[in-house]
Structure 1
């Protein structure tokens, strides 16, 4: 709901601060007083074009600030603010400010944070509906008719949306599977060859490292085989060192008791024999480990080259060949079973589509029934508004399957025929200015609380009518104001008398500068203004009496 409007230096308005409240507010004034300036200023705050012509002559910039009630958490307005990074303070009103410079350019702020004019327009869709003779938004926008009908009938669109998501998700999964299967089929011959080749080789993790180490060991053994044999001969040959030490030990054993030093010499030789034997054992162990087998070396090298060649071919490490073999075999297996998987997914898509179709058909029937109720409700409002020759209908037509969406399978549009025998057509193209405004009012009354924005502005909806029709317009605006804030710019005293608050728009001049101002009227001032509207320039007592009767509760 709009709670305040502050205007600075807009056309003829130098400075103006207005407060608004729930219910029906009326704005009156003589022709040319500047009522359109007020709406232009509000339109600027709601994302309208920031034209330099709006800046008051002699001023550097024009500024308009509109305040609205605090948006509820989870509301479309709150979600828009959150999505655009606009901070919200609990309990604080929503503040929208627009600035237009005289030399060109404009800036916008939401809650004192920079914002785009596009965000202002998005917010405006949920804040204010302005209906006039040249309005091209709100009820005239056929794209919103389906939502309005669903809200009016309180229809279950959520289940259709859920069914649509499941259907599209199943289709996406099927498309992905088909793409994967088609790609796999193109690679089938290569996969069969690769799996056969890898299976024949049967690589094992870590095998390449083991083969490389064993080959290196045999190559080292080949190089030092002669040296090892020479060491063995020197240690344990018939003329080797150990044989000579043992001979010396046997001789010393016979004479060791003859002198202490001989015994010590025998002990030293015994130790030398033990160490020499240990050395011989280690040399033999090394010789065995480094034993060179030409056949084994050739086999290891062939296996090593085969593994490394496969690794280069498939662009993996040799240790990854075993895992690759498993992956390729799995892909090949999926090809074999892919036909069955595709068939299962196709059945899932068909089932999901059938579920969506069932939900959409049910919604379609509910829409047709709601449309009939809405048509009857609007028809009841047309005659009192002097539109008794006109006809209204809500078209609910099935869409082509390619156009089915989360909102169902229908196209919904409000249509009218203004005269008997004339074809139905869109609201904006068929109705004249005055008729269009009254059609919008009839629709708004019929839709009651389902119109969306909580502030409705009607600009001269009563132009060209008077008497009973004007009274009917005023009565319906009053009914509409019971569930929404309604502001109406009017020339009709019957409409003005229905308001909960009355503001007078007037132009003044000091001979040099002309200004537009807005004054809230008290009860006596209001009676006087309505009397002026009834009688013209000269207010008569009869006009005052008639104004009093209009102001009296029905």
Structure 2
């Protein structure tokens, strides 16, 4: 439900904030006062295209914001959660339009695209009387409306779930059978697995292979380097570390005889001589053990080359090739032992097809029955709304193909004939905005808001009618307002009198600028406004009495 609307620097409105309640709220005012600005603002918040002409002259931007209560609107709440835009049980739409023509939108304070705003608005708001932003013009929405009217929720769910299960089983069958060439798939997977099992290595074994390759590829350099270090440590040169340590030890021994405190340092030199000797022995043995092994180096090179080739082929790091081997082995096992599974899945698919036929047949029967009843109900209401002889045909078109369809075996199209003798045409092609609004009203009243929309807006629904028909339109709007929030822009007192609340839009000018004011009328204000709508310029006592009687009768 729409709870509030805020507009600032929008067209001729300087600033206004309006609170809305449940039921029917009517909006009236002089011609040209800007009654439809409220509708325009909501259309922009619903993602309509904006232009700079919507910004009040002299301002740099227009600001629009609307807040909705999501109680009873689970689809909208679920959509917000999926888009990670939810914020409790309320929702705020906000949009800023700049004077140069650009605009930005927000949902619950978070930046949102116009497509997101439009998707959300379609779940909480319907605007009738204009061709844009009407969910009722969507064939998908028309089908949902018919199913809601027929109370087909469980039937639709059973058809949808059965069709999806049938498709899932079919996908598993195709996966297990390997498509049209199962034997070729098995042969290819076996070849891949043989290669992976032969060359792929676990991380520890791969580390060892790479270490071997480095050692074998650099064997000559390693032996030469080890011998060179031995020469530095214990060579014939007077600068060899071993000889230097020996000289240092001899000199420090003599000094220690003079000062016993040098004894610990002398022990350190002893340890250093021992460690250098061990290092010399170790390097000597290493240099003897390092050998050139061209054959082993070639083997390691070949192994690493195959690993890199497999890595490029599968677009995986070398360390993940063993995981790939496990995946190929599992897939090969599935294909080689798929016979029993395929038989079982085939039987399951046949049963699902039979279940779908039964569920879809039951749904089709219910839809056909509801289509007849809905067409009759709407045709009767169209006559009451001044469209005598008009009729609605709920056309159900069969879906081609034998595969189960999640939406059922038919598609829905609402066809309308507004006048006797005219062939029914798709609702989305009805040209007259007034006719379209009244037809929409008839459909909504007949279905009693079963499409789970929180707020319905009828813009100039009473265009081209008057008298008793206008009173009936008002009564139907009020009846609709008992089950869903309704906002109606009207110029007829018979409609305005039926409102649970009444907004007056007036235009004022000081000679330099023009302002539009929006106010909520109390009982006295409503009587005065109805008098104006009845009597025009001159309002007499009789006019006021007529207005009071009309208001009392409608509210009573």
Q: TM-score when scaled to structure 2?
A: 0.71
* Native 8 Å contact 1:403 1:409 kept in 2: no
Per-residue deviation, 1:116: 2.0
Query: Do residues 349 (structure 1) and 332 (structure 2) align?
Result: no
**Residue matched to 2:77:** 78
Q: Structure 2: any 5+ residue segments left out of the alignment?
A: 198-298, 312-320
CA distance in 1, matches of 2:425, 2:6: 40
Aligned to 2:122: 125
Change (3 A) 1:330 1:150: closer
Please report how far the alpha carbon of residue 190 of structure 1 lies from its aligned counterpart in structure 2 after TM superposition: 10
Equivalent positions of 1:74-473 (< 5 A) are 75-89=74-88, 93-135=90-132, 137-155=134-152, 156=154, 157-179=156-178, 182-185=181-184, 188=187, 335=336, 338=338, 341-401=341-401, 404-430=404-430, 432-473=432-473
Q: Which residue of 2 aligns with 1:487?
A: 487
Matched residue count: 437
In the alignment, is the contact (CA less than 8 A) between 1:133 and 1:461 conserved in 2?
no
Q: Deviations over 1:189-214 (max 9, x none)?
A: 9969x99xx9xxxxxxxxxxxxxxxx
Structure 2 counterpart SS, 1:435: helix
**Matched position secondary structure for 1:449:** coil
User: Against the structure 1 CA distance between its residues 381 and 189, is the aligned structure 2 distance closer, same or farther, given a 3 Å change threshold?
Assistant: closer
Matched-pair contact (CA < 8 Å) for 2:176–2:334: no
Distance change >3 Å, CA 73–CA 472, structure 1 → 2: closer
Shift of 1:37: 2.0
Q: Tell me how far apart the structure 1 counterparts of residues 497 and 182 of structure 2 sit (CA, whole Å).
A: 76
Instruction: Confirm or deny: 8 A CA contact 2:397 2:411 kept in the other structure.
Output: yes
Secondary structure in 2 matching 1:62:
strand
Match of 1:34 in 2: 34
SS at match of 2:6: strand
What residue number does 1:279 align with? none
How far apart are residue 388 of structure 1 and its match? Answer: 2.2
Question: What is the distance in 1 between the residues matched to 2:359 and 2:34?
Answer: 52
1-side partners of 2:457 and 2:372: how far apart?
A: 27
- Asked if residue 61 in structure 1 is aligned to residue 92 in structure 2, the reply is no
Which stretch shifts more, 367-376 or 19-28? 367-376
Paired with 1:17 and 1:169, the residues of 2 have a C-alpha distance of: 52
| Corresponding residue number in structure 2 for 1:8 | 8
> Shift of the alpha carbon at 1:423?
2.2
Distance 1:524 1:28, change over 3 A: same
Quickly say closer, same or farther: Cα 1:507–1:189, change in 2 above 3 A. Answer: closer
Whole-Å Cα distance in 1 between the matches of residues 334 and 508 of structure 2? 89
Cα drift, residue 176 of structure 1: 1.1
Partner of 1:496: 496
Deviates further, 428-437 or 48-57 = 428-437
SS at match of 2:502: strand
CA 1:190–1:149: 2 relative to 1, 3 Å: closer
| Moved beyond 6 Å, runs of 4+ | 189-192, 312-316, 327-330
> Counterparts of 1:430 and 1:19 in 2: how far apart (Å)?
33
Distance in 2, matches of 1:537 and 1:134, equals 34
Work out the CA distance in 2 between the residues paired with 1:503 and 1:190: 74
CA distance in 1, matches of 2:512, 2:27: 26
What is the RMSD of the two structures over their aligned residues, measured on CA atoms? 3.5
**Contact 1:170 1:352 (8 Å CA) reproduced:** no
Residues 75 and 538 of structure 1: is their aligned pair in 2 closer, same or farther, counting only changes over 3 Å? Answer: same
* Deviations, residues 28-63 of structure 1 (Å, cap 9, x unaligned): 111111112222122222222232211111111110
Q: What is the DSSP-based 3-state SS (H/G/I as helix, E as strand, rest coil) of the residue aligned with 2:115?
A: helix
Farther off after superposition, 142-151 or 425-434: 425-434
What is the alpha-carbon distance in structure 2 between the residues aligned to residue 57 and residue 375 of structure 1? 48
Q: Aligned partners of 1:33, 1:97: CA distance in 2, in Å?
A: 24
Change (3 A) 1:412 1:328: closer
Offset at 1:133? 4.3
Write the deviation string for residues 107-149 of structure 1: whole angstroms up to 9, x where unpaired.
2222222222222111111221110143452212222111111
Q: Is the 8 A contact 1:26 1:496 kept in 2?
A: yes
Distance 1:403 1:462 in 2: 46
Question: Which secondary structure state, in structure 2, belongs to the residue aligned with residue 35 of structure 1?
Answer: coil
Deviation of 1:350 (Å): 2.5
2:7 is paired with a residue whose SS is strand
- Alignment correspondent of 1:240: none
Q: Distance in 2 between matches of 1:529 and 1:41?
A: 24
- The 1:169–1:56 alpha-carbon spacing in structure 2 relative to 1, beyond 3 Å, is same
Give the match's secondary structure for 1:461. Answer: coil
